[in-house]
Amino acid sequence: MVISKGIDTVLLVMEQVLLTQYKVTGEYFAIKALKKGDVIARDEVDSLMSERNIFEVANRIRHPFLVNLMACFQTTVRITSCCLCVSAYCH
């Protein structure tokens, strides 16, 4: 299920956010996918790295108001991040 599709207001690139469920535990996750070409074309690589670093720090200190970043990975075409879903969409 696509939760959101539009422009990332921080990076100003097209994004797609998908709602997924881990079948083993039943937990829901939000997966954000960005087109690598868009990020590079708009010279937003530093912004993307900063976003990832903020999530990593928030995870380390267990920040109560930021979602947990579970994973980041990339393919030849997309950059993807996976966060624990804490929205009304998840139920």
Q: What is the pLDDT of residue 12?
A: 47
Reported as a single tens digit per residue, the pLDDT across 9-66 is 444 456 778 888 888 988 888 888 888 888 888 888 898 888 888 888 888 887 777 7
Q: What is the pLDDT of residue 9?
A: 47
Burial class for 78, CB neighbours closer than 10 Å (0-12, 13-18, 19+): middle
pLDDT band for position 76 (cuts 50, 70, 90): very high
Token code pair at residue 73 = 């990975």
What is the helix, strand, coil percentage profile of the chain, to 5?
30, 40, 35
Reported as a single tens digit per residue, the pLDDT across 33-46 is 888 888 888 888 89
